[in-house]
Structure 1
Amino acid sequence: MIRLGAHMSTSKGFDKVPKDTVAIGGNTFQIFPHSPRMWRASLPKEEMASSFIDEMKEKSLDPFDCMVHSGYLVNIASPNEEVWEKSVNLLSLEMKITAALGLKYLNFHPGSHLGDGLQEGVERILKGLEMVLGENQENDVILLLENVAAKGNHIGSSFDELEMIIEGSAQPERIGITYDTCHGFDSGFEIRTNEGVLKLIDEIDSKVGYEKLMMIHLNDSKFPLGAAKDRHEMIGKGYIGKEDGFRVFLSNERIQEKPWLLETPGDDADHALEIKYIRELLG
């Protein structure tokens, strides 16, 4: 069964997300645990968390198919001590929020070293992960490193860099990855051909292990292959989809093993049309 959904708003409350997901034709979703552009976050009230979990069951949504996306401000690679500490604290709280909602995956961007260098940035990430995971021993939430566009001082555009983080962690079993199609395309991964898709799968498998890939962010790109711009586009409207690239990518049986989550521009109505379009692509 294809697992397909979108990033959903929590403005009406966490417990409205399952119903809204099914309404757009989805069977999986992604949410923010709090306002993504703020440092402030709090655990959901017990009544809200319980209602959310009940709604998940009512709508037959699997917690292993859905995930939480960390806020935009988190940067555990930052050389700024204040930012690093706030990032570690927020990421730790986000894990607790994820657990309280009965979900299993928390996705985050590895961060930017801001010019200090890759090795220094990775060391700060590993130190931060040790603290975050140490403070969340009581839950079974898995952290997912997201590949990022190859621009600036961001860490994680290559699987070599993601491998450095996973292998350097004291708890690698609690770390997986999310593959973002726009970010990967931005970084030079060609997925519009069968050969390119197989090469991508081999790269993931040889560097981090294909079993570490838990989620796929399904985004088209406003810019050509290797542009390093990180501008998402609606499926079929960008440089991946214009050449029928998504049919090729999504037809691969190993790609179909993973849940697909839209992070494209637009609202629920737009995402409903995209979900319909994607299912039609696959026949």
Structure 2
Amino acid sequence: MKPTLLILAAGMASRYGSMKQIDGFGPNGETIIDYSIHDAIKAGFGKISFIIREEFLDSFKGIFEPKLKGRVETDYVFQSYDLKPFGIDKVIERSKPWGTAHAVLAARNQVHEPFCVINADDYYGYDAFEKMVQFLTTEASDSQYSLVGYQIDKTLSDYGSVSRGVCEVDDKGNMTEVNERTEVYFKEDGSVAYKDATGEHPLPNDKRVSMNFWGFTPAVFKQSEEMFKRFVEANEGNPKAEFFIPLVADELIKSGTAAFKVIPTASKWFGVTYKEDKPIVQESISALVANGTYPANLWG
């Protein structure tokens, strides 16, 4: 059974100021998601599942169905505010849904095979998809998951500091913890550092970070559902609290339930955090078209 690609596309982009998931970056208006899907199909994924808000269904179908028909199976998962499906009999007012791990849980009745989770607005590179398919088809088990680890210096923006999940990895190549560093940046000499309440700290340029590229089996749905209930219970008064995938990973690792293999990639990641990043992404994609990585008309 071929693995499924689950694309997190339910969040509207507050810092970016528009629905960047469907913004055009390629020579023919291709979105960043188009390149991810192209790489995923080539690597051997059998189905593309978009996690979206239900009100975006028609826009997403209008954009992606004509391109993908006959190439790969598609499916749509809705992330909503309704907690009843999780056995939580409460209505909690929020301005945005409950975060990335909640989005993954929304797919629990639709995904029945090993799967990979990615962000809609990030460019990951073919190498990551190829390595993840290899992992999901030969190594994944209900106690062995994975994430693709990017070199930190291949993930930063020239326009400001960014948040990165910095991975600590043991000698078996498994993640021991992921630390969210909220202010990571290039220094003038090209080295990498982060700031926290205690000051500035250096990071090795080849330190591995999580860019939200995870590999799971469907067992993770059961494993994280109870965690989600506890999270809602603890955070019902905090409208900004989000149930993130790294929180789930951390608990699974600490409880000994599952290990997470860190799959290294040398690919350059790029994404759109700031408006100023858009021309950079367009240039990066133009360069990939020019060097033959992608055809000029992706779906032509």
TM-score, normalising length: structure 1? 0.29
Higher relative CO (Cα under 8 Å, sequence separation at least 6) belongs to 2
Structure richer in strand, relative to its length: 2
Structure richer in helix, relative to its length: 1
